[in-house]
Structure 1
Amino acid sequence: MERKEFLRGLGLVGLGSLVIPIIKACNSDDAISSTETTTSTGSTNNSGSCTVTSTETAGPFPTKIPSSLVTTNIVSDRTGVGFTINVTIKNTNASCAALAGAIVDIWHCDKGGYYSEYGGTGMQSADFTAVHFLRGRQTTNANGIVSFKSIFPGWYSGRATHIHVHVYNASGTSLLVTQIAFPEGSGSAVVLVNASTANGYSKGMTGYTYNASDNVFSDGVANELSTITGSVAEGFVLEHTINVAG
Structure 2
Amino acid sequence: MERKSFLKSLMIGAVTSSIVAEACQKDSIATSTSSSGSTTTGGTSVINGSCSVAPTETEGPFPTKSPASYVRSDITDGRTGYKLAVNIFLVNSNNSCNALPGALVDIWHCDAQGNYSEYGGSGLQSTNYTSVHFLRGRQTTDSNGAVAFTSIFPGWYSGRATHIHVHVYNSSGTSLKVTQIAFPEGSGTAVAAVNGYSKGLSGYTYNASDNVFGDGYALELATVTGNTTDGFVLNITFAVPA
TM-score range, shorter chain: 0.7 to 0.9
Aligned-pair distance for 1:6? 3.3
Map of 1:104 onto structure 2: 105
Map of 1:227 onto structure 2: 223
What SS is found at the alignment partner of 1:6? strand
2:146 maps to amino acid: I
CA RMSD of aligned residues (A): 1.7
Map of 2:213 onto structure 1: 217
Change (3 A) 1:155 1:99: same
1:124 maps to amino acid: Q
- Structure 1 residue 174 corresponds to structure 2 residue 175: yes
Separation in 2 of the partners of 1:55 and 1:157?
22
Separation in 1 of the partners of 2:205 and 2:110?
15
Change (3 A) 1:202 1:177: same
Q: Which runs of 4+ in 1 moved over 3 A?
A: 1-7, 46-49
Aligned-pair distance for 1:122? 0.2
Aligned-pair distance for 1:5? 6.0
Separation in 1 of the partners of 2:188 and 2:18?
32
1:10 maps to amino acid: E
Aligned-pair distance for 1:222? 1.4
User: Over residues 121-149 of structure 1, what are the superposed CA-to-partner deviations in whole Å (9 max), with x where a residue is unaligned?
Assistant: 00000000000000000000000000000
Map of 2:203 onto structure 1: 207
- Structure 1 residue 87 corresponds to structure 2 residue 88: yes
Specify which structure has the bigger relative contact order, considering alpha-carbon pairs within 8 angstroms and separated by 6 or more residues: 1
Whether the aligned pair in 2 keeps the contact of 1:83 and 1:149 (CA below 8 Å) is yes
Decide which structure has greater strand share: 2
- Please list every run of 5 or more consecutive structure 1 residues that lacks an aligned counterpart in the other structure: 13-41, 196-200
Whether the aligned pair in 1 keeps the contact of 2:23 and 2:60 (CA below 8 Å) is no
Q: How many residues align?
A: 211
User: Over residues 52-81 of structure 1, what are the superposed CA-to-partner deviations in whole Å (9 max), with x where a residue is unaligned?
Assistant: 110000000000000000000000010000
Whether the aligned pair in 1 keeps the contact of 2:43 and 2:236 (CA below 8 Å) is yes
2:125 maps to amino acid: Q
Map of 1:115 onto structure 2: 116
Whether the aligned pair in 1 keeps the contact of 2:103 and 2:140 (CA below 8 Å) is yes
Separation in 1 of the partners of 2:206 and 2:70?
30
Aligned-pair distance for 1:51? 2.3
1:234 maps to amino acid: D
Whether the aligned pair in 2 keeps the contact of 1:107 and 1:163 (CA below 8 Å) is yes
What SS is found at the alignment partner of 2:134? coil
What SS is found at the alignment partner of 1:131? coil
Percent identity of the aligned residues? 61
Separation in 2 of the partners of 1:191 and 1:43?
20
Whether the aligned pair in 2 keeps the contact of 1:86 and 1:148 (CA below 8 Å) is yes
